[in-house]
Structure 1
């Protein structure tokens, strides 16, 4: 495997899962002394320039991570050569990335990193933090495993 220097996390709207993954990934990279370019985006354009949802901001803040300055963007703003890995939160986004023409060797499914194939569920409609706690824990597990594979 060639050296991985950049990771893009992708969900549907880029306001719940992928910004949370970006925040966790940056936090864990800093704590492990990894120098990585980390970003997030969505496959849809529904939330361009919007901040992460309030529950994503709140759960990240609970664990000492600030994602409030992030803004939604669509994955199409990036070319295929910008990131070494493009990590999809679920199978639908994985397939959408391939349909958009992203290099199959770069597109990864987050469920393959310590989650036994599980998708990160979309918590957009959750009314409380419980669902966000669950995805935070899943993301932290997956990203920690991802970083183990990079070392």
Structure 2
């Protein structure tokens, strides 16, 4: 599950990108996104996010912004915040037993550290740059998910003689 401030720019972009790439790879994964804030609840993705995804041949799914719920911490194996501030807020909301599920998005983007900037205050150029960053992070996340799935589903080797 991807988390950003309003669930209209960064987290729905990561959501749709992971769904798109996982489907293309034949990898089954449950994906969702939500917000820390409730200010955008009920709204669709930002038109600039939709336009950038479309420019790259990806259609944004029917999305309705929502706020993260306590039940999300039990439902998802990974809760991925776009900024350190999102992760801190998530840790305050998370039941103690689920705090280890919270990660910063850029942990999955090779060579990129820190926060995924909020493009909402900028122009289309900012949405292009954030899309590129999210694209790179989703590639890293998908590779890790596939590796983890392979490790858990690999048949046991017979003992060596």
Please indicate, yes or no, whether the TM-score normalized by the shorter chain is above 0.5.
Answer: yes
- Give the C-alpha shift of residue 118 in structure 1: 2.6
Structure with bigger helix share is 2
SS of 1:116 mapped into structure 2 = coil
Partner of 1:15: 8
Superposed, 1:44-59 pairs within 5 Å as 44-59=37-52
The structural deviation recorded for 1:30 is: 0.8
In structure 2, stretches of 5+ residues that fail to align are 148-161
- Measure, in 2, the Cα distance between the counterparts of 1:77 and 1:69: 23
TM-score (norm 2): 0.84
Stretches of structure 1 that go unaligned for 5 or more consecutive residues are: 1-7
Q: Which residue of 2 aligns with 1:4?
A: none
Count of residues in correspondence between the two structures: 143
Runs of 4 or more consecutive aligned structure 1 residues displaced over 4 Å after TM superposition: none
Aligned 8 A contact 1:111 1:120 in 2: yes
In structure 1, the residue matched to 2:127 is: 132
Structure with greater strand share of residues? 1
Check whether the contact 1:52–1:68 (CA below 8 A) recurs between aligned residues.
no
For residues 48-67 of structure 1, give each alpha carbon's deviation from its aligned partner in whole angstroms, at most 9, with x where no partner exists. Answer: 11001110111111111122
CA RMSD of aligned residues (A): 1.3
